[in-house]
Structure 1
């Protein structure tokens, strides 16, 4: 028992402390930078619901498994497939700290947006949908927080490792699409998450404290062989 406890403590100490990172851009108001979601019952809203039903009918068990896995993974490790085996955040403390700042900032902004827009989740609008999960706040569909995370982190990583920008942003797009495959979000939720994520990354790059952390992460990724010198 004592050995297991010590191992757990060591693991916790080695894990990236993203939840302790500072949130920046406190003045970013999603209502001012995002269009409102489609009005309930409007042609666009009905088309988005029909799309979810069509994707649900077409998705394979493997599609659903992959989408569920993405939904359960809310950190920068999703980009390892684009950046290679050297992208191990447990061994990249500066990069982990930088992405922690992105995550904290993005989550704070998304939470403000969800509280303001209060769009019902797809499975609330139509309980017949076989969504992967139904344990989210029922009025938290817009914007998609998973997508915002993927694109804010993805854009920052694309600047850190520009030679791999294409695969990085393609991974962010697949991650966002998984929210639709799982029936957790409507198309416009994901589009709004992408817009907000890219905007957050752009504004963070203008923050002096973030730039300092960015340069440290850049050096670390070059040393680790993840980024070209």
Structure 2
């Protein structure tokens, strides 16, 4: 699951939250949601890159024999803090929780696990992930209040409600694996 969570392609990232939503989230059936993601992508990437450049933190696997479960290609050896993957994953959880508040608890729990996947993979330190949650929270708070996004956000909610009205069940094995991961938190362990 941690390897799968490393894929930040928007279609894949949205689908990663299907079990938490209780139905398959298909970005192909949600053009307004896709538009929201396209409109916020630059702001999220820019802010995260600024912080990474400022802190210039070395990743856990650099200069060690520690294993990683994803390719180090494109990670940036000195761009560990804050976790961009966590920012993206928890940001998606916050966006979907905003659009589907009836599923907020499960979506935010999945966002937590998404961030912890970066620790499992050996790509980030715990504090990188914690900073990714904070980064996503502050960014999404500002972005979701943007008046220019309100029409697309309302339309995206309608798209998700339409999917929920005619649900496609997510993969049961995947959901069981996510539920198992959700019962443990790497951030609460010493």
1:89 counterpart residue number:
27
1:146 counterpart residue number:
85
Root-mean-square deviation (CA, aligned residues, Å) is: 1.8
* 1:68 counterpart = 2:3: yes
Which residues of structure 2 form unaligned runs of 5+?
Answer: 166-190
1:25 counterpart residue number:
none
Which residues of structure 1 form unaligned runs of 5+?
Answer: 1-65
Shift of 1:102: 3.4
Matched residue of 1:210: which SS?
helix
Matched residue of 1:128: which SS?
coil
1:127 counterpart residue number:
64
Matched residue of 2:122: which SS?
coil
On the 8 A contact 1:102/1:153 being kept in 2, the answer is: no
Counterparts of residues 9-20 of structure 1 (less than 5 Å)? none
1:180 counterpart residue number:
119
1:42-91 deviation digits (Å, cap 9, x = unpaired): xxxxxxxxxxxxxxxxxxxxxxxx21111124432211221233421111
Counterparts of residues 181-200 of structure 1 (less than 5 Å)? 181-200=120-139
CA distance in 2, matches of 1:100, 1:224: 21
CA distance in 1, matches of 2:161, 2:122: 39
CA distance in 1, matches of 2:83, 2:24: 29
Q: Which runs of 4+ in 1 moved over 6 A?
A: none
Counterparts of residues 1-229 of structure 1 (less than 5 Å)? 66-74=1-9, 75-124=13-62, 126-132=63-69, 133-135=71-73, 136-225=75-164
Q: What is the TM-score with the length of structure 2 in the denominator? A: 0.78
CA distance in 2, matches of 1:78, 1:86: 9
Q: Which has the larger radius of gyration?
A: 1
Shift of 1:183: 0.5
Instruction: Give the aligned length.
Output: 161
1:14-60 deviation digits (Å, cap 9, x = unpaired): xxxxxxxxxxxxxxxxxxxxxxxxxxxxxxxxxxxxxxxxxxxxxxx
Shift of 1:99: 2.5
Q: What is the TM-score with the length of structure 1 in the denominator? A: 0.65
